[in-house]
Amino acid sequence: MSHKMTYGDYLQLDALLSSQKRLSDHHDEMLFIIIHQVSELWMKLILHELRAAIDAIERNDMDPAFKMLARVSKIQSQIIHAWDVLSTLTPSEYMEFRDRLGQASGFQSYQYRMIEFALGYKTDYIVKIYEKDPRLHEELKRALYAPSIYDVALKALARAGFSINPALLARDYSESYEEDPTVEAVWLAVYKNVDQYWELYQLAEKLIDIEDWLQQWRFRHMKTVERIIGHKTGTGGSSGVTYLKKVLDHRFFPELWNIRTKL
């Protein structure tokens, strides 16, 4: 049937383009729905690339991992620009349909949480939120207990002969990573001997790119929310802007940031 398949068939456009179902008759609700759906599609691709990169680094196959991580950074730039489009929505316009959202909130995005898991920020309470959905709950549980991109990066450092705290190499992956002085010393050595440890240096810079872009995404998220709803409570009951400002201080790869001061 492939020679008879149309563009619309291949992309399943009937299903995709019929998924924007407004709950109000307000013109701008279409913008609100599409921006969030597009962001979820991009996040699906980020997860696809991150998981493959993690597998490649575990196999010590660095070149494909670098390509995948570079792609993640480009995808992140697209998601950041989505906030520019959403910010054309004014507070008055949003209030016309906000009550139709009920308890739906971006804080409930399970794909975003799985991206955090893949980067090493693990929070088991997020998994509990989805206990009523067995399939999704199991998927989040697997992500919670899987090694993050930073966990496999530390294994790569150990394979290169560096001395890493053994507890980190056999740690419980369901817990958030916390910085360690042995890791900082190793990354410092890598950055001081770039030619000798070129692959590890490249890996470190790819990780920094991803965290940098993620923090820029978080910042644009916070400013867009502040611009549209100010300091109101979020639709899902979150503290809204207050919470979004707080997470700006979180770091996924702390040692990679610390060494910049010490070089």
Residue 33 among known ligand-binding residues: yes
d(CA 57, CA 206): 12
Please, which residues have CB within 8 angstroms of residue 135's CB and are 6 or more apart in sequence?
none
pLDDT of residue 151: 98
Residue 66 among known ligand-binding residues: no
Residue 235 among known ligand-binding residues: yes
pLDDT of residue 238: 64
Which conformational region is residue 105 in: left (phi greater than 0), alpha (psi within -120 to 50 degrees), or beta? beta
Residue 51 among known ligand-binding residues: no
pLDDT in tens, 7-65: 999 999 999 999 999 999 999 999 999 999 999 999 999 999 999 999 999 999 999 99
Q: Average pLDDT in the 142-164 region?
A: 97
Residue 98 among known ligand-binding residues: yes
Q: Average pLDDT in the 101-130 region?
A: 87
H helix runs in the chain, sequence order? 7-11, 13-17, 29-58, 62-86, 91-95, 110-119, 124-129, 134-145, 149-159, 166-169, 181-192, 198-229, 241-246, 254-262
Residue 229 among known ligand-binding residues: no
Could you tell me if 43 and 112 are in contact, meaning their C-beta atoms sit under 8 angstroms apart? Answer: yes
Answer whether residue 96 shows pLDDT above 80.
yes
Answer whether residue 249 shows pLDDT above 80.
yes
d(CA 116, CA 217): 13
Residue 110 among known ligand-binding residues: no
199 confidence band (pLDDT: 50, 70, 90) = very high
What percent of the chain is predicted at pLDDT more than 70? 97
Would you state the structure tokens that stand for residue 255, as one six-digit string?
């040692």
Residue 34 among known ligand-binding residues: yes
- Cβ burial of 58 (10 Å; 0-12, 13-18, 19+) is middle
Place of tokens 């008759």: 25
d(CA 132, CA 20): 25
d(CA 131, CA 169): 30
Task: Please say whether the structural domain 25-261 has been given the CATH code 3.40.50.300.
Answer: no
pLDDT in tens, 211-225: 999 999 999 999 998
Could you tell me if 141 and 168 are in contact, meaning their C-beta atoms sit under 8 angstroms apart? Answer: no
pLDDT of residue 4: 86
Length, in residues, of the chain? 263
